[in-house]
A and B are shown apart, each in its own frame.
Chain A
Amino acid sequence: MHLDQQYIDYLKERNSRGIQSIYEKFSSKVKAMILNNNGNSEDAADIFQESLIDIYRLAHQKDFELTCPFEAFLIIVCKRKWLNVLKKRGRRPVTNLDDVAYKLSDHQLESINRQEQKMKEEKTLMLLIEQMGESCRKIIKATMGNTSQMEVAVKLGLSYAYLRKKKSQCMEHLRAMIKGHPVFNLNN
């Protein structure tokens, strides 16, 4: 685990002083990168915020591990996000954004790519759940947290047996949706 794991913990714990230190240390670089590449300060603030939220969500996944400096990870996530925005707006970066990348080992870059893929998969999974029927959506969301399934059944006004039967049907449906989806790399 990298020493900069503390920044990940600040986000996970929603530590206000820690979050302030993230803004103090890293916001100026992200801002400069975006201002120099067809963006404004509002764009930079949005990209920075969205990237931190993505990292926060990723950090809640069981096997997440920071393998490089937090700054490099954050800047690369921001950079790729900004490139996507530019692409959608039909514009190109002014400067070569590769220069922004840090000198990272192949292993570190590979690890960042893997984490980014996971971010994509998590977002897609949430979108797929939103596309499911009302009952499945509600059952899956209600059983996502730490609440016991017995409590979930009571809360939803369902019998325990019905909840389990329905949940297994919904999970089967979700598995089928994921299996046929291009975003998921099921070999990793």
Chain B
Amino acid sequence: MTTWNEEITDFLDGQLSEEESKAFVQEMKKNPALAEAVALQQSLNAWLAGAGEANQGQADLEAQLLSHRHYFTDEATIASGSTLKMPSKVNRIKLWLTGVGVAACLFLVLNYTGVFSDHLADLPTLQTEQVRGGDGRQQEDAAISAFNQKEYAKSAQLFEALWEQNKEVKRFQYYLGLSYVGQKKWQEAATLLEQLAQGPSLFKDDAAYFAALAYNYLGEKSKSQNLARQVSESSNYYKKANKLLR
């Protein structure tokens, strides 16, 4: 039994010939489940198109909105303040020194506890590929599960085996690279992910970011920054990549 799956996408994307389209419309009239699936995908397409357009300008809008935050905060500061008296010069110095001391202590404590960390090396949670099948599925699921449980040595071993079996699957190369990042094997991660970032791949941006991070840990600033610059604006790692450029 056909699921009409590819035809639905082709029909809505205008990829069917006139004759094929007519036949497909006829089939929809006979098959309410198909008509329902087409209507749902049509709504989804409209949603995704709108969301895609919105995504393009959202970062700019957020930056503009942030610059207007003072409409809320300035007044509150004034409203909550009592009559202020200027302290004497000696007291001002004492206050300043106390402030610096407190800030330094706070910085040391917070920095030690990692509050100021940008979580640059945070690894993503991997999702299983629901739509794929085949024999490698169980092995990949085991590798993904090991990775998500932070058992990076195990996930590296499993992804390495999967990648050896099929070098065409860039996903395995990327996940292996991430497993090296998890193990803090920066050199291995940098080499593998840089290679992925140089070629065409779904994981190009993500690989460029983690390769940049690995080079950053290796102290190779220039390589790190070149890779960080490759991360495109649409990537989830764009903001973090910019932090590596500082």
With beta carbons under 8 angstroms apart, the residue of B52, B55, B202 that contacts A156 is B202
19 A-B pairs (CB sep. < 8 Å): A12-B57, A14-B57, A19-B64, A27-B72, A49-B69, A52-B61, A60-B53, A133-B128, A134-B126, A136-B129, A137-B127, A138-B203, A139-B202, A141-B234, A158-B200, A158-B202, A164-B9, A164-B10, A166-B131
Instruction: Determine if B53 and A168 form an interchain contact, defined as CB atoms under 8 angstroms apart.
Output: no
Instruction: Determine if A140 and B71 form an interchain contact, defined as CB atoms under 8 angstroms apart.
Output: no
Instruction: Determine if A19 and B68 form an interchain contact, defined as CB atoms under 8 angstroms apart.
Output: yes
B49 to chain A, nearest CB (A): 7
A153 to chain B, nearest CB (A): 9
Give 1 or 0 for each of A104-126: 1 = CB within 8 Å of chain B CB: 00000000000000000110011
Instruction: Determine if A134 and B129 form an interchain contact, defined as CB atoms under 8 angstroms apart.
Output: yes
> Which residues from chain A sit less than 8 Å from chain B, CB to CB?
11-12, 14, 16, 19-20, 23-24, 27, 31, 40-42, 44-45, 48-49, 52-53, 56-57, 60-62, 121-122, 125-126, 131-141, 143-146, 149, 154-158, 164-175, 178-179, 186
With beta carbons under 8 angstroms apart, the residue of A20, A139, A186 that contacts B40 is A186
Q: Which residues of B contact A166 (CB under 8 A)?
A: 131
B37 part of interface (Cβ distance < 8 Å): yes
Instruction: Determine if A135 and B72 form an interchain contact, defined as CB atoms under 8 angstroms apart.
Output: no
Interface residues of B in 3-54 (CB under 8 A from A): 3, 5-6, 8-10, 13, 15, 37, 40-41, 44, 46-54
With contact pairs A45-B73, A60-B53, A144-B55 given, residues A175 and B44 touching in the complex (Cβ less than 8 Å): yes
A108 to chain B, nearest CB (A): 22
A59 to chain B, nearest CB (A): 8
Could you tell me the distance between the alpha carbons of A56 and B55 in the complex, rounded to whole angstroms? Answer: 10
Interface residues of B in 133-192 (CB under 8 A from A): 170-171, 174
Instruction: Determine if B61 and A56 form an interchain contact, defined as CB atoms under 8 angstroms apart.
Output: yes
Instruction: Determine if B47 and A61 form an interchain contact, defined as CB atoms under 8 angstroms apart.
Output: yes
Instruction: Determine if B66 and A49 form an interchain contact, defined as CB atoms under 8 angstroms apart.
Output: yes
Could you tell me the distance between the alpha carbons of A39 and B55 in the complex, rounded to whole angstroms? Answer: 30
Could you tell me the distance between the alpha carbons of A166 and B5 in the complex, rounded to whole angstroms? Answer: 11
> Which residues from chain B sit less than 8 Å from chain A, CB to CB?
3, 5-6, 8-10, 13, 15, 37, 40-41, 44, 46-58, 60-62, 64-66, 68-69, 71-73, 75-76, 126-132, 170-171, 174, 199-204, 234
B135 to chain A, nearest CB (A): 17
Q: Which residues of A contact B64 (CB under 8 A)?
A: 14, 16, 19
Could you tell me the distance between the alpha carbons of A61 and B41 in the complex, rounded to whole angstroms? Answer: 15
B118 to chain A, nearest CB (A): 21
Could you tell me the distance between the alpha carbons of A170 and B75 in the complex, rounded to whole angstroms? Answer: 50
Nearest to B64 among chain A residues (CB) is A19
Could you tell me the distance between the alpha carbons of A11 and B65 in the complex, rounded to whole angstroms? Answer: 10
Instruction: Determine if B51 and A154 form an interchain contact, defined as CB atoms under 8 angstroms apart.
Output: no
Nearest to B200 among chain A residues (CB) is A157
Q: Which residues of A contact B49 (CB under 8 A)?
A: 62, 144
Could you tell me the distance between the alpha carbons of A172 and B37 in the complex, rounded to whole angstroms? Answer: 9
Q: Which residues of A contact B201 (CB under 8 A)?
A: 156-157
Of B40, B171, B174, the most chain A CB neighbours within 10 A belong to: B40
B37 to chain A, nearest CB (A): 6
Of B68, B200, B204, the most chain A CB neighbours within 10 A belong to: B68
Nearest to B129 among chain A residues (CB) is A133
Instruction: Determine if A125 and B51 form an interchain contact, defined as CB atoms under 8 angstroms apart.
Output: yes
Could you tell me the distance between the alpha carbons of A49 and B63 in the complex, rounded to whole angstroms? Answer: 11
Q: Which residues of A contact B126 (CB under 8 A)?
A: 134
With contact pairs A14-B61, A49-B69, A133-B131 given, residues A165 and B6 touching in the complex (Cβ less than 8 Å): yes
Instruction: Determine if B40 and A40 form an interchain contact, defined as CB atoms under 8 angstroms apart.
Output: no
With beta carbons under 8 angstroms apart, the residue of A20, A41, A53, A62 that contacts B73 is A41
Instruction: Determine if A135 and B171 form an interchain contact, defined as CB atoms under 8 angstroms apart.
Output: yes
Q: Which residues of A contact B65 (CB under 8 A)?
A: 19, 49, 52-53
Could you tell me the distance between the alpha carbons of A150 and B47 in the complex, rounded to whole angstroms? Answer: 21
